[in-house]
């Protein structure tokens, strides 16, 4: 629940500085003969012509046997040719060719007499047993055609595997050498600590003799760990740009194939290419795809994955330190990596790239806003304050959504309202303007959100209210937005207790006004239960359980659970689980009772704010303070300046 951070940056278009001499160009591969592409179409044409010739080798009209006998009796048959298979071909008196067959089951002896009586010329032939050229071609050419088709498709498939069968084991790394990376550390907004820690890699690649004289060794590998979208790849490119060395980029999944041994071969080829271009940098993105723990239960591909990892371990432990090869890697799942990969001598340094803080978010937003026209009311510090937990990619998406919103309104200038609308869309979803609420539902949502807003304004440690709305967005029917006054890194028990009370303020308002709850508080209850559970099980804030914490395992930015919990086993007993459940229910119940008591004491303010929301649909935080100040002045005589959100 601690505030998280993130980064982004820009790519500056600077001219690349001269680097080490390049290798002489390789001679071009011999081109294929010009006639080779026409070979397959020519074979297909020959097969078609042979089949067409065979189909036309028996021309003429086909007659049924009864029609043939009738024409013989009519005297219109001139010649017939009878073969030993019962096939008959001939010509009529007008020159028309015909074919027919004599049924072998019938007595055809009268047919010869009829033919003689009508003076029909009779000839007999014997069918060939298959020795003819046309018959041979008719059988062989289709077979050859099918074989040629299989050979051709197989060759094309092999050529797609990175240069044929010989290219399967080659590395698929993108080698950026002709145009060196132009990104520099100045192009990465924020993250001064990360850049300072990783700048020694640049110094080692530029001046390795300094380390050699002092007897020091530069880092062999640096692994960057952080949430997705924080700019780990951008930092790696900035390192390559500052060092002015070749940059070999590859993803972890590019090593793994269905063929055993291909991944290890690609690892060898990757480090071989790096040695040829030394000093150089190898960047492996998402290294957890190939560097996962060995020996775990996997469904298929285990041998191939382990061979690839073993080869990677051998290469990182074996290449010459003086060659100037540094391996950078990035992952957001460090807990899944094999311990042998993380030991000193392989990845010597672990650099955490967290989510950006408020000042860094403002700098990142300014970077992504370059080239866009902004209105004077845009304040990046205000936007950064309203976007805690956003990563660099999220901030880039925020600015882009604001630009799209301006275009949708036929404008080219981005104002503060566009940024606010884009933030609501990213956090809550698309605004459902067509989702009209019933009048009683509209009033219920107004009461619910008014409860959240008033409790936030009345609790001492709660964040100030920025906006309250009853306009549906995504799955939410309304929203109460709070903006922290400062970036928090530590949360006290008082803040967490107030946070629980604010979460249950909407349900408490429903209980006070309507006397019953509704399904609108489902998300609030789930969030409050999670917070209370962590207070009991992790933070040691329950007197019943005492100062005992069962941590969730990996850092929350990794997005993983404890290994024991992932396998269905808790690190504590059923008795402890019962205590955790009871204490969680107690904390949530106390927060609800506190919220109900506060709202009953301020029932007039609750009704007033709910009425304003029904009329205006959206109000800002100052309206909430005005409602509290006006009501207290009327009833208690307290001046408005004495009231506030704490």
Tens-digit pLDDT profile for residues 215-250: 777 777 888 888 888 888 888 888 877 777 788 888
What is the structure's pLDDT at 331? 87
Give pLDDT, residue 500. 94
**Which residue stretches of the chain have pLDDT < 70?**
1-40, 43-44, 47-60, 84, 105-109, 126-139, 141, 152-181, 254-263, 295-304, 318-323, 431-436, 474, 552-569, 630-646
In the three-class reduction of DSSP (H, G, I as helix; E, B as strand; rest coil), residue 252 is classed as helix
Distance CA 501, CA 529 (A): 12
- The reported pLDDT for the residue numbered 262 is 67
Q: Model pTM greater than 0.75?
A: no
Helix (H) or strand (E) holding 459: none
| The predicted structure's pLDDT at residue 10 | 35
Query: Would you say the C-alpha torsion 130, 135, 141, 142 has a positive or negative sign?
Result: negative
485 classed as catalytic: no
- Of 158, 174, 156, residue with least CA distance to 166: 158
C-alpha span between 227 and 232 (Å, rounded): 9
User: Measuring CA to CA, which residue among 520, 500, 501, 499 is closest to residue 510?
Assistant: 520
Q: What is the DSSP letter of 35?
A: T
Nearest Cα neighbor of 449 from 424, 478, 427 is 478
Q: Specify the pLDDT at position 567.
A: 44
From CA 495, how far away is CA 506, in angstroms rounded? 18
The pLDDT value recorded for residue 31 is 54
Specify the pLDDT at position 485: 77
Q: Which of 449, 481, 510, 583 is catalytic?
A: 449
List residues bridging with 373 in a β-sheet. Answer: 413
pLDDT at residue 130, as a whole number: 47
Phi and psi angles of residue 79, each rounded to the nearest 5 degrees, phi first:
-140, 150
Region of 203 please: left (phi>0), alpha (psi -120 to 50) or beta. alpha
Closest CA to 588 of 639, 533, 546, 633: 533
pLDDT for 66: 81
Cα–Cα distances in angstroms (integers) from residue 103 to residues 88, 96, 100, 107, in the given order: 11, 23, 10, 9
Quote the CA–CA distance of 130 and 136 in Å, as a whole number: 7
Which domains does the chain show, CATH number per domain?
8-17+169-352 (3.40.50.300), 53-125 (3.30.720.210), 358-428 (1.10.8.60), 439-642 (1.20.58.760)
Q: SS in 3 state form for 368-413?
A: HCCCCEECCCCCHHHHHHCCCCCCHHHHHHHHHHHHHHHHHCCCCE
The CA distance from 494 to 484, in Å, is: 15
DSSP 332-372: S-GGGB-HHHHSTTTS-EEEE-----HHHHHHHHHHHTTTS
Q: Residue 196 CB: number of other CB atoms within 10 A?
A: 10
What's the confidence (pLDDT) of residue 256? 64
DSSP class of residue 230 equals S
């Amino acid at each position: 629940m601690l505030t998280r951070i993130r980064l982004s940056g820009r790519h500056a278009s600077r001219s690349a500085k001269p680097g080490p001499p390049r290798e002489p160009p390789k001679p071009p591969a011999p081109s294929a003969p010009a006639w080779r592409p026409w070979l397959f179409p020519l074979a297909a044409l020959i097969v078609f012509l042979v089949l067409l010739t065979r189909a036309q080798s028996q021309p003429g009209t086909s007659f049924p046997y009864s029609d043939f006998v009738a024409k013989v009796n009519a005297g219109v048959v001139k010649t017939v040719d009878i073969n030993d298979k019962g096939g008959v071909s001939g010509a009529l008196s007008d020159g028309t060719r015909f074919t027919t067959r004599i049924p072998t089951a019938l007595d055809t002896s009268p047919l010869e007499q009829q033919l003689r009586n009508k003076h029909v010329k009779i000839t007999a032939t014997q069918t060939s047993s298959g020795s003819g050229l046309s018959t041979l071609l008719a059988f062989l050419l289709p077979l050859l055609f099918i074989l040629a088709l299989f050979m051709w498709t197989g060759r094309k498939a092999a050529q797609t595997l990175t240069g044929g069968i010989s290219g399967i084991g080659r590395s698929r790394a993108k080698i950026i050498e002709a145009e060196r990376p132009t990104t520099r550390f100045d192009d990465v907004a924020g993250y001064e600590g990360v850049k300072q820690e990783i700048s020694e890699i640049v110094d080692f690649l530029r001046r390795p003799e300094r380390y050699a004289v002092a007897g020091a060794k530069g880092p062999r590998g640096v692994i960057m760990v952080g949430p997705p979208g924080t700019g780990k790849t951008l930092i790696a490119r900035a390192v390559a740009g500052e060092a002015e060395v070749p940059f070999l980029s590859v993803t972890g999944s590019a090593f793994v194939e269905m063929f055993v041994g291909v991944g290890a071969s690609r690892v060898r080829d990757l480090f071989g290419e790096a040695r040829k271009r030394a000093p150089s940098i190898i960047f492996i993105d998402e290294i957890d795809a190939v560097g996962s723990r060995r020996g775990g239960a996997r469904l298929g591909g285990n041998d191939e994955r382990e061979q690839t990892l073993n080869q990677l371990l051998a290469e990182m432990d074996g290449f010459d330190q003086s060659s100037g090869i540094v391996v950078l890697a990035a992952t957001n799942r460090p807990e899944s990596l094999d311990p042998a990969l993380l030991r000193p001598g392989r990845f010597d340094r672990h650099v955490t790239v967290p989510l950006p803080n408020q000042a860094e978010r403002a700098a990142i937003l300014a970077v992504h806003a370059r080239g866009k026209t902004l209105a004077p009311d845009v304040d990046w510090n205000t936007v950064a304050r309203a976007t805690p937990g956003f990563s660099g990619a999220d901030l880039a998406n925020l600015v882009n959504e604001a630009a799209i919103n301006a275009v949708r309104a036929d404008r080219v200038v981005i104002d503060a309202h566009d940024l606010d609308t884009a933030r609501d869309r990213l956090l809550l979803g698309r605004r459902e303007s067509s989702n009209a609420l019933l009048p009683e539902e509209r009033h219920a949502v107004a009461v619910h959100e008014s409860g959240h807003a008033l409790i936030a304004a009345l609790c001492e440690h709660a964040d100030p209210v920025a906006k309250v709305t009853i306009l549906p967005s995504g799955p939410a029917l309304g929203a109460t937005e709070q903006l922290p006054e400062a970036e928090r890194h530590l949360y006290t028990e008082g803040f967490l207790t107030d946070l629980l009370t604010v979460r249950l303020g909407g349900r408490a308002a429903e209980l006070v006004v309507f006397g019953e709850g509704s399904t609108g508080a489902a998300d609030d209850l789930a969030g409050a239960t999670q917070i209370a559970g962590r207070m009991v099980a992790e933070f040691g804030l329950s007197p019943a359980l005492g100062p005992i914490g069962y941590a969730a395992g990996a850092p929350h930015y990794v997005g993983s659970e404890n290994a024991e919990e992932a396998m269905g086993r808790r690190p504590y007993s059923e008795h402890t689980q019962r205590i955790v459940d009871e204490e969680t229910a107690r904390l949530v119940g106390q927060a609800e009772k506190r919220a109900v008591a506060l709202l009953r004491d301020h029932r007039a303010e609750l009704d007033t704010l709910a009425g304003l929301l029904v009329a205006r649909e959206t109000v800002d935080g100052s309206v909430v303070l005005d409602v509290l100040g006006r009501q207290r002045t009327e009833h208690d005589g307290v001046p408005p300046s004495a009231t506030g959100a704490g």
